[in-house]
Structure 1
Amino acid sequence: MSSAKSLMFLGTGSDVGKSVLAAAFCRIFKNEGYRVAPFKAQNMALNSFITPQGGEMGRAQVVQAEASGIEPHVDMNPVLLKPTSQMGSQVIVLGRVIGNFSAKDYYEYKKELVPIVRGAFERLCAQNDLIVIEGAGSAVELNLKEHDLVNMAMAEMAGAKCILVGDIDRGGIFAALLGSFSLLEAGERDRIIGFIVNKFRGDPRLFEDGVQILQSRSGVPVFGVVPYFENISLPEEDSVALGRRMANAHTKTAPCAIRIGIVRLPFISNYTDADPFENDPRIDLVYFDRPAQIFGFDAVIIPGSKNTIEDLAAMRKNGMADALCAFHKSGGTVVGLCGGYQMMGSIVRDPLGIESSIDVIPGLGLLDMETEMYPEKITSQVEASVISESLPFPGRREMLSGYEIHMGRSISRGEAKALFRIVRREGKAVDMEDGLAQPDGRAWGTYIHGIFDNDGFRNMFLEDVGRRSGKIVAPVSGSFSFRLWKEEQYDKLAELVRKHVDVARILDILLR
């Protein structure tokens, strides 16, 4: 192994801010001139990403890689779990699906993953000066310790120096930090170089007495108290974050804002497809799960799903399927992405039980196509062009890039026309059609994720929805660039953390 040093962020629980702080330190170390890479041995995520090599990995490490200024690679997240039910997950190792596992079966299989995780970590170490490691959930889930792969077991494997992160916003910060610290074994406590108190509302100086209490009772320093922030946005990947988005939904003040609704599916995945809309001042974006909410929108997007058939069955049961069809009939625009695209067809089949025990289910009937699930998962980055003869974008030949992650194959059976022509897949020239659009352009879908990250295509879509809704979509001042906007967020995050955390002291300890 190289002489790369490892800094690990452990948490007192889930959603305390480990991912965000890891991203912040990736950008801070990059700005200091170090070669830095992120790492998380095992991630459970709703959202994933496809690397240029066609491997699938968790979104958090993609964000951290972007903050590090490097290309994402599956070595940064060698094990990815994607929940397919309440009791099981699809297991992805080094970017490739190896199967669906129950929790019990996965625990038994975990020991085989140790050398794979070690190999991925060592490859990163050989190419970098610093590795920023993220733990998972609580570092002291005592009943799971025997099977640990991602917290203290990973810290030991990496020889990492660790920072324990607590969330003061949810209350109980002393019990969380001191309790977690005390539950660690003596050798594990020796790896903790300090605490960070995260999400403090108000003036952090008001917590100076709290800092002294934490330090005196633990014997380790508090490196900083990071304020709660709402003016910095980063892509998120779990159900906790999605719930927060629904709770914090707000309406733009612009009278002509385009209102876009995202259906909150039970097994929603890759909802980061909507991230560019959240930060565009022309758009009012709302996640919703009640059918009665649908008629206030100009367009509705059915997002990706980790279990298309089960989500379709849930929509039929709660009335969302009927509401979507009625919304479209009344003149609304409906867009389906990946699993949502599959749902828009006439039928979805799963004869091999790839995703569900339901072998066939009627679709929404908004697109005349049929879908069948297959064992082989398609994972690839693509470049595509809009087919100019198709509505809703006639006469346009906009180029875009994105990625595919799907088990299903869909076949058109009627008048709907292909929407995109894929010209490159995994870096190789191809000529393939993707997606379908109704003749009137008010219902369309695609397997390509990330299409709205492309500024030109996103503007085309908004212009079409605005025209149909009688709203004028004005150009954004300075031509809003989603890529540049993300870079600004990483810089703002690094600046905030550097202001409130003793980065110099952490670096000094790390490099000894």
Structure 2
Amino acid sequence: MQSCSKALMVQGTTSDAGKSVLAAGLCRVLARKNVKVAPFKSQNMALNSAVTADGGEIGRAQAVQAYACYLEPTTDMNPVLLKPNTDTGAQIIVQGKVLTDMDAKGYHNYKPNMMPYVMESFERLQNKFDSVIIEGAGSPAEINLRDHDIANMGFAEEADIPVIIVADIDRGGVFAHLYGTLALLSESEQNRVVGFVINRFRGDIALLQNGLDWLEEKTGKPVIGVLPYLHGLMLEAEDAINVSQLSNDEPKLTVVVPVLQRISNHTDFDPLRMHPNVDLQFVGKNQRMPAADLIILPGSKSVRSDLEFLRSQGWDEQIERHLRFGGKVMGICGGYQMLGELISDPLGIEGPSGETNGLGYLALQTELRKNKQLKQSKGSLTLPGQETVDVFGYEIHAGVTKGATESAPLELKDGKDGAVGMDNQVFGSYLHGIFESPDACGAILCWAGLQEAQGCDFAQMREDGINRVADTIEEYLDLKRLWPDLNLWEK
């Protein structure tokens, strides 16, 4: 087992600069060199989350980074998770469990109380692993958020760790981003920056060299490397919806997903996005649903308000017309609840207390309750006309759904789940990640009309994506600058 510096933090000049992917790649680089390494992000704001084996909830990106380390995710890898439920408020999850809901101002003032939890989780990882790769959040130069910061330089200073800063050249203005970000840091923060990484470069590197020389001269910091743009990279997004698909001239099944205002865990659809015989289309605000074979209602952090939003867009009428013409409809988690007859929230778990009529396609009633269900699940799926297949996934929901369970299509380790209705045209389930099960994915696509459907091996796609990033990092970054005590890289 190799040893190396205990920690390295990846910060970015902006959101989506490439922090999550770079951190995952660095994790895999070290893990492949037999370094015992773990990922960490002190605070994450995202509606894409994952359930850990110990029944906690963390950001999806940290789960992917854990897989890059050949580890199962744990709650210490992301001790603070913020899940927005309004434009100004979020559910606060600490070390995997819901603490409370707060508005933005209230949380900003409360943030110093989070640092002990953050440091406790980080120190546990440091004690267990030889190295920890840490991902920052947004940008360290966001002046309005520097007070009480626990996600970027505030954490780096508290933990006394080195930092690299990554910028996305594909956005433009990369030298201004890097120079300006460094200039806005305090002297002590600047001193802990060990270098820059430029991400998503296209073209001849020789044309960039004078800019790299200028940046190093002006800042006194080295450019550790320039990473090329990786076309068709398959890694789950931290928050933004990825709409890129595999190139296919003749997709055989059209799947439409309405983008709700509080859509959650839209990474559920990545296996469909990467399926060679699926045309996956996300439909946004003020857009009509195109003709489709299957409409899938996604998960939601605020089910009742998102159901109202769905109706305000006229999507309920378009779904009804789709069913009249023989199309299929599926709901996952919040979308499953919407397909029922009633959603009640007597305690105001997701907003004002009250109840909302569902779309009425399944004979089910849902009540939102205080204790969130968090668990990994596996079992079998049997859809009408399809063979029984293995299925696995995870559940994240506050709702308890009651109704007819005799014909529930999923038999999971904790009991039955899901329902089929409307003469086999409508199917719903609480199981996130259901399309990651190749056999279950194939069965659902076959149910929706794709003949001889095969599910894709999404786990292998993720592995290939992580390894591709790691290979690129080893080729283009000067890793000796980051880990001089590891004599494992020869340029």
Counterparts of 2:454 and 2:397, CA distance in 1: 34
SS of residue in 1 equivalent to 2:289? helix
Alpha-carbon spacing, 1:98–1:456, altered in 2? closer, same or farther (3 Å): same
TM value normalised by structure 2: 0.94
Partners of 1:446 and 1:383 in 2: how far apart? Answer: 13
Name 2:410's counterpart in structure 1: 420
In the TM superposition, residue 143 of structure 1 has moved relative to its aligned partner by 2.0
- Preserved CA contact (<8 Å) 1:308 1:339: yes
RMSD over aligned Cα, in angstroms? 2.0
Contact 2:332 2:432 in 1 (8 A): yes
Q: TM-score, normalised by structure 1?
A: 0.91
Please give the alpha-carbon distance, in whole angstroms, between the structure 2 residues aligned to 1:53 and 1:189. Answer: 38
Distance 1:101 1:182 in 2: 32
Aligned to 1:427: none
The residue type equivalent to 1:285 in the other structure is L
1:321 to 316, 331, 335: 316
1:215-294 maps to which residues of 2 (within 5 A)?
215-238=216-239, 241-242=240-241, 245-246=242-243, 248=244, 252-254=248-250, 257-289=252-284, 293-294=288-289
Correspondences of 1:332-351 after superposition (within 5 Å): 332-351=327-346
Matched residues, number: 485
Secondary structure in 1 aligned to 2:11? strand
Whole-Å separation in 1 of the counterparts to 2:37 and 2:128: 9
Q: Hey, what does 2:420 align to over in structure 1?
A: 437
Distance in 2, matches of 1:475 and 1:56, equals 31
Deviation, structure 1 residue 172: 1.4
- Calculate percent identity across the aligned residue pairs: 41
Tell me by how many angstroms 1:278 deviates. Answer: 1.5
Q: Is the 8 A contact 1:309 1:358 kept in 2?
A: no
State which of 457, 464, 467 in structure 1 corresponds to 2:447. 464
In structure 2, what residue type is equivalent to 1:302?
A: L
1:301–1:335 contact (8 Å) kept in structure 2: yes
Q: Compute the displacement of 1:439 (Å).
A: 5.8
The Cα offsets for residues 148-170 of structure 1, whole Å up to 9 and x where unpaired, read as 00111211222211101111111
Asked whether the equivalents of residues 256 and 290 of structure 2 are also in contact (C-alpha less than 8 Å), the reply is no
**Is the CA contact (8 Å cut-off) linking 2:419 and 2:429 kept in structure 1?**
yes
2:356 and 2:257 map into 1 onto residues whose CA distance is 22
Question: Deviation at 1:195?
Answer: 0.4
Q: CA deviation at 1:393?
A: 4.7
Shift of 1:290: 5.8
Does the CA-based 8 Å contact 1:294-1:327 persist in structure 2? no
Deviations 1:67-94 (A, max 9, x none): 1111100100000000000010000001
- 2:472 aligns to what? 496
Relative to structure 1, the CA distance from residue 109 to residue 408 in structure 2 (aligned partners, 3 Å threshold; closer, same or farther) is: same
Residues in 1 aligned to 2:129 and 2:264: alpha-carbon distance in whole angstroms: 31
Which moved further from structure 2: 199-208 or 262-271?
199-208
| Residue 376 (structure 1) aligned to one of 368, 371, 377 | 371
**Secondary structure of the corresponding residue to residue 371 of structure 1:** strand
The 2-side partners of 1:452 and 1:393 are apart by 19
Of 416, 441, 452, the match for 2:435 = 452
Give 2:100's aligned residue: 99
| 1:407 aligned to which of 395, 398, 412 | 398
Q: Whole-Å Cα distance in 2 between the matches of residues 231 and 151 of structure 1?
A: 29
Find the aligned partners of 1:449 and 1:105 in 2 and give their Cα distance.
Answer: 31
Q: Distance in 1 between matches of 2:246 and 2:276?
A: 12
Listed one character per residue, the Cα deviations across residues 307-366 of structure 1 (whole Å, up to 9, x for unaligned) are 001100011111011111221221111000000000111111112211122612111111
Query: Is residue 397 from structure 1 mapped to residue 388 from structure 2 by the alignment?
Result: yes
- Amino acid aligned to 1:392: P
Change (3 A) 1:412 1:291: farther
* SS class of match (1:147): coil
Show the counterpart of 1:121: 122
CA change 1:509–1:290 in 2 (3 A) is: same
Q: Does 1:365 align with 2:341?
A: no
1:506 to 462, 476, 482: 482
- Report if aligned partners of 1:4, 1:128 keep a CA contact under 8 Å in 2: no
Secondary structure in structure 1 of the residue aligned to 2:200 = strand
- Cα distance change of structure 1 residues 292 and 189 upon mapping to structure 2, 3 Å threshold: closer
Equivalent residue of 1:406, what SS? strand
Higher helix share: 1
Q: Does 1:331 align with 2:326?
A: yes
TM-superposed CA distance for 1:10, in Å, is 1.0
Partner of 2:193: 192
Partner of 1:173 in structure 2?
174
Q: CA deviation at 1:473?
A: 3.5
Name the aligned partner's letter for residue 438 of structure 2: D
Shift of the 510–351 alpha-carbon distance from structure 1 to 2, 3 Å rule, reads farther
Query: How far off its partner does 1:283 sit?
Result: 1.3
